[in-house]
Amino acid sequence: MSARSYLDWNATAPMREEAKTAFAAAISLAGNPSSVHAEGRAARAPIETARDQVAALVGALPGNVFFTSSGTEANMLALTPAIETADEKQPRTRLFVSAIEHVSVQCGGRFPRDAIGEVPVGSDGRLDLVALPGAIANAPRPLVSLMLANNETGIIQPVAEAAAIVHKAGGLLHVDAVQAVGRVPCDVTALGADLLTLSAHKIGGAKGVGALARAREDIHFPEPLLRGGGQERGLRAGTENVAGIAAFGAAAAAALAGRESESAHMAALRNRMEESLLSIAPDAVVFGRDSGVDRLPNTTLFALAGIKAETAVIAFDLEGVAVSSGAACSSGKVQPSHVLAAMGVSAQLLRGAVRVSLGWSTTAADVEKFVSAWTKLASALSKGQRGIAA
């Protein structure tokens, strides 16, 4: 059993070997990909290979994939009033985001604060499809942003159903698929998404690379986020992160080839882990498990009344297991989870949620290590040891 068990894959995944190889090969290319000489063309080649590979992962055309510096930047790029389509050149005046979006979507990109509306989720953690049509009814040309899978709960959102509602209202749908790609099927057309965000480091690429995919060529951004050179067909100025992009492509190819087997592997371990977790502490709540909603195969978010998330995370860390608090952590202070709050979870559990997220190289030994750490923690709690309880 290795010294440490890393079970925080929703925060970031280790780089895949294929990605490291592509990164290493690209880092020694001297040319600028915009130069026309041989060195420039040599640096351009891995970018275009990666574009094909990332496009294949989400069923887009390569020409519809734009590389960015992160999933966050792709979200910022997408969430702007200035999105034109073949038959709609007017700016979009309202943005609607679900109540459980990642902070990079919640902050609304380039929309003014008062132009951003929130669409609720039900207690099952899924977007309220009954509320959606009413929420966007009076907004001409709404832009709606809905994630495919939530980063805390792993709960899969009804994206295709939401897309039908948004399109009927004359709107566009942006989908933050950062946590979903490589773990569940993610085809931009099948989802009905107009725009889709990806992040390299969640699928085994390098940190600091992302992409925005559009479903159709007629979707234009007349006001790019970064202006300057003509890189990424004028949508994202700045010399490309060649090595990072090359690694993203290799990771995307590996994620696509391995998706079914990796997902089955993660689901089997995750399910076994949840059964043990609940048999040790039958009062623990695993969010999304009892309601039977679709979840990512790798994610468990759980809470037990009396346990404080930050204390639990430290206790697991001391036992050699890396997990995270379900709640957002900023400036070292754990905030109650806005996701669980939106689901109406009781105050007692709100601050106590712990997220365990697995990956393709997680082993049964990692899960055993988690279970033995949990056994100690739960028994300390039942003995009322100080420092564990909330």
Q: From 158-166, 172-180, 247-255, 346-354, give the range in contact with ligand PLP by CB under 6 A.
A: 172-180
How far is residue 284 from each of residues 54, 147, 194, 292, 327, measured CA to CA in Å? 39, 27, 39, 16, 17
By CB under 6 A, residue 236 contacts ligand PLP = no
Choice between 210 and 249, CB closer to ligand PLP: 210
By CB under 6 A, residue 176 contacts ligand PLP = yes
| Contact in structure between 26 and 243 (CB atoms under 8 Å) | yes
Q: From 66-74, 185-193, 355-363, 375-383, give the range in contact with ligand PLP by CB under 6 A.
A: 66-74
| Contact in structure between 329 and 191 (CB atoms under 8 Å) | no
- Supply the Cα-derived Rg of the chain in whole angstroms: 21
Give the list of residues 6+ apart from residue 342 with CB closer than 8 angstroms, or none: 99, 100, 120, 121
By CB under 6 A, residue 49 contacts ligand PLP = no
Query: How many Å apart are CA 328 and CA 335, to the nearest integer?
Result: 5
Q: Which of 46, 210, 288, 359 binds ligand PLP (CB under 6 A)?
A: 210
Of 160, 329, 347, 364, which is the active-site residue?
A: 329
Query: How many Å apart are CA 178 and CA 160, to the nearest integer?
Result: 17
By CB under 6 A, residue 151 contacts ligand PLP = yes
Give the list of residues 6+ apart from residue 30 with CB closer than 8 angstroms, or none: 39, 43
Total number of residues that touch ligand PLP (CB under 6 A): 12
Choice between 71 and 108, CB closer to ligand PLP: 71
Total count of residues recorded for the chain? 390
How far is residue 294 from each of residues 77, 212, 315, measured CA to CA in Å? 29, 25, 30
Give the list of residues 6+ apart from residue 333 with CB closer than 8 angstroms, or none: none
Q: From 173-181, 250-258, 288-296, 370-378, give the range in contact with ligand PLP by CB under 6 A.
A: 173-181
How far is residue 95 from each of residues 116, 182, 311, 375, measured CA to CA in Å? 5, 28, 37, 45
Query: How many Å apart are CA 223 and CA 300, to the nearest integer?
Result: 40
By CB under 6 A, residue 153 contacts ligand PLP = no
The conformation of residue 64, written as its DSSP 8-state character, comes to: G
Q: Is 329 a catalytic residue?
A: yes
Q: How far is the CB of 71 from ligand PLP (least distance, A)?
A: 3
Which position's Cβ is nearest ligand PLP?
71
By CB under 6 A, residue 145 contacts ligand PLP = no
Q: Which of 49, 53, 98, 199 binds ligand PLP (CB under 6 A)?
A: 199
Q: Which of 178, 245, 321, 354 binds ligand PLP (CB under 6 A)?
A: 178
By CB under 6 A, residue 72 contacts ligand PLP = yes
Choice between 96 and 374, CB closer to ligand PLP: 96
Q: Which of 65, 146, 147, 163 binds ligand PLP (CB under 6 A)?
A: 147
**Strand 95-98, strand 143-145: pairing:** parallel
By CB under 6 A, residue 299 contacts ligand PLP = no
At 114, which amino acid appears?
A: D
Q: How far is the CB of 66 from ligand PLP (least distance, A)?
A: 14
List residues near ligand PLP by CB under 6 A: 70-72, 102, 104, 147, 151, 176, 178-179, 199, 210
For the annotated catalytic residues, the residue numbers are 329
